[in-house]
Amino acid sequence: MPDLASDAPLRLVALDPEDLEILSAHLQDFVARVGDLAWLPREKRFAFVGNRIDRRVDGEVRRRRTAGHFDRVTKVSARGVDRSQADTVLNLLAVTFSPAEEPSGAVELHFSGGASLRLDVECIEAQVVDLGPVWAAKAAPAHDLDEA
């Protein structure tokens, strides 16, 4: 588990549903432009870059430039995401996994406003890494847990 008081960059690998839950928690409120999401079918990879919220134990809320990818992706489906609108900003709420014939299934990226991306995968294989830049967040996202 990453040290929340450290300035060390986050490096996570997800290889099973439990790992994916941890990855999802660290990427909650990650923002990215549609143009910064890439499906690379020859490589069976879905890659992304954007800014994640970094909440420290001392209460400081920062943003960090972060990149990641899902490997062994066989298909990508979008709902509410217009690829022709490259500058549209998406706010990630959660990453979930729906199993199929083991170890395959679907990784779903859920964004605010009902948008989502579904990645059909041979198995869970993902990586996320902070790229370096860190800055104070202008606002800290808040979520009403009673609505969930």
Q: Which residues contact 114 (CB under 8 A, 6 or more apart)?
A: 79, 80
Looking at per-residue pLDDT, the higher value among 70 and 136 belongs to: 70
Contacts of 32-38 spanning 24+ positions with Cβ under 8 A: 32/89, 32/90, 32/92, 33/86, 33/87, 33/88, 33/89, 33/90, 34/81, 34/82, 34/83, 34/85, 34/86, 34/87, 34/88, 34/89, 34/90, 35/86, 35/87, 37/90, 37/117
* Structural contact between residues 131 and 43, judged by C-beta atoms closer than 8 angstroms: no
Do the strands 45-55 and 61-71 form a parallel or antiparallel pair, or are they unpaired?
antiparallel
**Predicted pLDDT at 143:** 62
**Average pLDDT rounded to a whole number, residues 74-80:** 97
Predicted pLDDT at 8: 81
Percent of the chain topping pLDDT 70? 91
Work out the pLDDT band at 148, boundaries 50, 70, 90.
Answer: very low
Q: What is the pTM of this model?
A: 0.88
Distance CA 66, CA 134 (A): 10
- Looking at residues 107-123, what average pLDDT do you find? 97
The confidence score (pLDDT) of residue 137 equals 87
In whole angstroms, give the CA distance from residue 133 to residue 102.
38
What are 50-62's pLDDT values in tens digits?
A: 999 988 778 888 9
